[in-house]
Structure 1
């Protein structure tokens, strides 16, 4: 009887926790909506003149791991800052899948901030034109979920089976090569985790062998200085394999 009561209490506390977490996420979404109406957009002139000139190296691909309801205003700022810093590839990993369902909201916020000569290439399920030869700044953006990693693994398994290779030739490196081809982007150099805890939330492991991770508690109201600080740390870090 005691064990049954103990389980009931445990389950009750669990659902109370889930309920308050839901309310917390909803309140943040409402707060973000109203704050976006009055929040100033970081002037591009200020961005270009500050923060980037002293970097000895820059990431080619930066990925952002989101463990909260997305703030489209703040994520749009990150896209513009990355483009200004000449970071070619930007990806957002939302393990809950909220951002991918509402990708058009992020596109709208980015369009409010970009200049007429800027080119944002969205790698999504819709048809996109990725021609070369554009003048001006450009950046490639992709939104990922945990389901994407599972689909990639399934696709790779089908490809390997269709090759009819002997089991002795199917090595880890062989599989990894196929998995990277599915991803389309190069492996990320830098990852920023927006969470209260340091956790990767099942981010596809074959993409982050050499990724340098940093954690910030939230992307809500993230400042330009917060972003630049991460780039400075990356600029000073020497990447090593093994040792």
Structure 2
């Protein structure tokens, strides 16, 4: 019988422990260096790309791009009330800025996704925040816009006919994602069971049409304004052909990330499979 000396076991244990500590410290140092580098790049980008409440500056930034998205979707996060620009007012401020950037760039559709849905019950306040910010950008010639909340079917518009607005803003929340798909599947099942819908009628085209009616069309570009690429249960059906963009270690809605996302989209190429 072979016996293992206790001292040998302790030496091996401490050796492996030391190796793990070295790996941990090396990775920690590397991550801190990467974090500082990313933050420095973001700071430089923010100084390079600064709209200064001027639509003309934004138009100049996008004028050389080969193409622009027709529909942009942005994931924003509800920050703590104690943070700068936190709470629901902070989210409304972010939406107001995104609206001004889209109008200046010539993008007619903006979808804002916020997991908690904090603004769904204060659409009037959101309309006021967007209007106030657009006046800061455009003066008295404020472009028209429409705000839609698909989940509650609420629509407010600065135009008598919402279809004539310069910008359409849609506000999505978590329930517009997987819960909506589940509810649609349940409804289709009930219609099929009651013979109101034939099994052969259930097609991808039908589902796509229903989800587009319930949630809205698929965006061309999705911008995640967070430190990691976290979709936060964004409606999965609406991300099949969407170009996605995010900046590592970014934690705010800022113009530098927005314009860099547009530049990446201009260089992208969508290949549709058969």
Same fold (TM over 0.5): yes
Are 2:63 and 1:63 aligned? no
Query: Which secondary structure does the structure 2 equivalent of 1:99 belong to?
Result: coil
Shift of 1:195: 2.2
Mark the CA change 1:193 to 1:48 in structure 2 (over 3 Å): closer, same or farther.
closer
SS in 1 for 2:62: coil
1:154 equivalent to 2:174? Answer no
For the pair shown, the structure with the greater C-alpha radius of gyration is 2
Mark the CA change 1:215 to 1:105 in structure 2 (over 3 Å): closer, same or farther.
Answer: farther
Listed as ranges, the gaps of 5+ residues in structure 1 are: 1-39
Conserved 8 A contact 1:64-1:93? yes
Number of residue equivalences? 200
CA 242–68 in structure 1, closer or farther in 2 if over 3 Å, else same: farther
* Residue range with higher mean Cα deviation, 209-218 or 154-163: 154-163
Secondary structure in 2 matching 1:78: helix
Work out which of the residue numbers 65, 73, 78 in structure 1 matches 2:98.
78
TM-score of the superposed pair, with normalisation by structure 1 = 0.69
In structure 2, runs of 5+ residues without a counterpart are: 1-49, 80-87
TM-score (norm 2): 0.62
| Structure 1 residue ranges (4+ consecutive) displaced by more than 4 angstroms after TM superposition | none
Q: Decide whether the 8 Å contact of 2:225 with 2:253 is kept in 1.
A: no
RMSD over equivalenced CA pairs, Å: 2.9
Deviation per CA, 1:54-89: give whole Å up to 9, x if none. 111111110011234262333311111101111111
Residue range with higher mean Cα deviation, 161-170 or 75-84: 161-170
Q: Provide the rounded CA distance (Å) in 2 between the counterparts of 1:109 and 1:194.
A: 20
Is it true that 1:241 corresponds to 2:251 in the alignment? Answer: no
